[in-house]
Chains A and B, each alone.
Chain A
Amino acid sequence: MLKSYLPALVFLALGAGTGAAFTALNSVLGPRRPSKVKSDPYECGLPSEVTSSFRFGISFYLIAMLFILFDIEVIFLYPVAVGLKQFGTFALVETIVFIVLLFVAFVFVWRRGALEWR
């Protein structure tokens, strides 16, 4: 079984190699003329501030939280979906209950306004 993953290993190596090469090539091939202005972060009208004290809206946090929940739903559904045809009605009912419960969660989240982006 593990043998069938060998091409994947080649892809991993090729991907890492290409990425590293593209990242490093400019240092080799490009000129090097540093200046003070060049090393400023990009700005556009306002002085550029640095990120460490940046604060983000709660929406990002909430979206990430909901993402985890539904991502787990999807990852649970995949193995179940593979054999759903063979397993018969009982398995089908189980799966439907599973999906519906999460859909209830979804409706609740929507009703409470957590999906409004702000």
Chain B
Amino acid sequence: MLLEQILFFVAAAGAIGGALGVVLLRNPFFSVLALVGHLISLALLFLLLRAEFIAAAQLVVYAGAVMVLYVFVVAYVGGIEEAVGGEGAIGRLGPLFAGALLIELCIAIVGSALPAIDSRGAHVPAGFGSPGAIGKVLLERFLVPFEAASFLLLVAAVGAVVLARRRRGLEDAPDDELPERAGRAPLGDPSGRERADGGDEGPPAGTAEGPGDPTPERDAERPDPVRDPEPQPAGGTA
């Protein structure tokens, strides 16, 4: 019982800390990571509420899938260390609105939660929150939402493809047809040679066979670097 309480406070602190991190951190990559921390804490809170399946789904879908997309988007947009917005009417009214919302939510939550503090909480039947119970509820009580979910996913797939095509057309070629890769990033380059694994000398160190660590030698081997004195190229591409 004590362990449960400790875990609750750990998760609660993690959730609040993560949420604050999302808002306060400047680098979008760090913001995404803070959001991941927040979501993991939420999963733990769900588990403590006996919602086992929801906790697992939270990790698989949110931390494992949605956040992957966020990471990719940050990688796509580039890690620009600048906050957006803050000017004009939105900049001035935004914090005010957020503050009002916070106060209102606090009143609502505290108002409904304070009477519940003395009680033992809801009675939980055996098997509550298990995948079997959720499946039963999905197939019997929430039939329409269940099917609507799959229809929604279908719509989302269509939307993603259409948007991606439009974006790609803007990106590097005027035509809407998919252009061949002309001078794009070297990713997924089909010229990557296939290498029969473990050639005559055995696999190269550092990837495969033994944990032979190649890195220090690699640096030692390199002769006096030519571009050593010059500073690293500034990464700021507007």
Task: Tell me the A residues contacting B by CB distance below 8 Å.
Answer: 1-2, 5-6, 9, 36-38, 40, 42, 47, 49-62, 64-69, 71-73, 75-76, 78-84, 87, 91, 94-95, 97-99, 101-102, 104-106, 108-109, 112-114, 116-118
Contacts and interface: CB of A to CB of B under 8 A. Distances in A.
Contacts of B140: 87
Contact of B61 (A1, A75, A109, A112): A75
Contacts of B50: 1-2
Identify whether the interface residues of A are mostly helix, strand, loop, or mixed. Answer: helix
Nearest to B177: A113
Contact of A66 (B133, B160, B165, B178): B160
Contacts of B4: 2
Contacts of B116: none
A111 to B, nearest CB: 9
A35 B71 CA distance: 33
B227 A73 contact: no
Contacts of B222: 37
A105 B158 CA distance: 7
Interface of B: 3-4, 47-48, 50, 52-53, 57, 60-61, 64-66, 68-69, 72-73, 75-76, 78-81, 131-136, 138-140, 143, 146-147, 149-151, 153-154, 156-158, 160-161, 164-165, 167-168, 171, 178, 180-181, 184-185, 187-188, 215-216, 218-219, 222, 225, 227-228, 232-233, 235-237
Given A36-B228, A68-B61, A105 B236 contact: no
Contact of A2 (B48, B153, B154, B218): B48
A105 to B, nearest CB: 4
Contacts, number: 183
A98 to B, nearest CB: 5
Contact of B131 (A6, A69, A82, A94): A82
16 contacts: A2-B4, A42-B218, A53-B237, A54-B75, A59-B188, A64-B72, A79-B135, A80-B139, A82-B131, A94-B146, A95-B139, A97-B147, A102-B154, A108-B154, A114-B164, A118-B184
B134 A79 contact: yes
A71 B78 CA distance: 26
